[in-house]
Structures are given as C-alpha cells and as structure tokens.
Amino acid sequence: MLKLLYKFAGKLLRITKFCHFRHQLCYFAMKFWQILSKMVSKP
C-alpha cells in the first residue's frame, strides 16, 4: 500500500516539475498530495 503511494507520489512530483508553468494544476497537485499524506499519517 505504502509502496504504491510512494510510486504515485513520484509520478505526481514528476508531473508537477513539468507543469511549473501551469500554476493551477501544480497547486491542485500539491494540495491533493498534502491531503493524501494527512490521511495516510492518521492512525
């Protein structure tokens, strides 16, 4: 489960690097990852 999440995170980071000129998409990706990591860190 966590390995899958980290793979997904890597893909997300790669996408964010490529879309740095598309601020809205990057902002959404970062927000989505923040929410996802909060959900995962909850016991």
Residue among 41, 40, 15, 38 at smallest CA distance from 28: 15
pLDDT at 43: 65
**H/E stretch holding 13:** helix 2-18
Instruction: Please tell me what DSSP assigns to residue 42.
Output: -
Whole-structure pTM value = 0.40
Q: What ranges do the domains of the chain cover?
A: 2-41
Nearest to 39 by CA among 14, 7, 2: 2
Q: What is the pLDDT of residues 1-43, one digit of tens each?
A: 678 877 887 887 777 666 565 667 767 878 888 888 888 887 6
Give the closest residue to 1 by CA, choosing from 29, 39, 35, 30. 39
